[in-house]
Amino acid sequence: MGDWAKTRLRKLSETDKIRDISNWIGRNMAYPDNVLYLGTESNNKNHSAAFPVSLPEWFIKLFTKTDDLILDPFLGSGTTAVAAKTNGRNYIGIDISKEYCSLAEKRVKGVRQNTGDLSL
């Protein structure tokens, strides 16, 4: 993290510092180095930019809490919405394509919500 963390913390207002630090209390994880080691295969073959659910799920667990709101302005096939719902977050998905919105809606309807945060 090095210089990035020092610069980031220096630029935060007092309110941001409290919010930033409080998000880490009681968590057993830290920012990654500069590479995430996640599976690269996606089970979703219905979109040209498909990625595994584990990618947005990692960030959702790291930066949000249960019942927080996740905004995905490029919904696509709904992978981020699936990760949000699975982990007890609310979500809003937006896409220019009605076809992809319908696909995402069907995909999200088939997802069950976990009852709490999972460890990474």
What pLDDT does residue 51 have? Answer: 82
What pLDDT does residue 52 have? Answer: 86
Q: For residue range 25-81, list pLDDT tens digits in order.
A: 666 655 555 666 666 565 666 666 678 888 899 889 988 999 999 999 999 989 999
Sign of CA dihedral 96, 53, 57, 113: positive
With 90 as the cut, is the pLDDT of residue 18 above it?
Answer: no
Q: Residues 90-106: what's their mean pLDDT?
A: 94
* In the chain, domain spans: 32-109
- Residues 6 or more apart from 88 whose CB is under 8 A from it? 66, 67, 113, 114, 115, 116, 117
Fold of 32-109: Rossmann fold (3.40.50)
With 80 as the cut, is the pLDDT of residue 2 above it?
Answer: no
Other beta carbons less than 10 A from residue 93's beta carbon:
21
Q: How far apart are CA 42 and CA 89, in angstroms?
A: 21
What's the pTM? Answer: 0.63
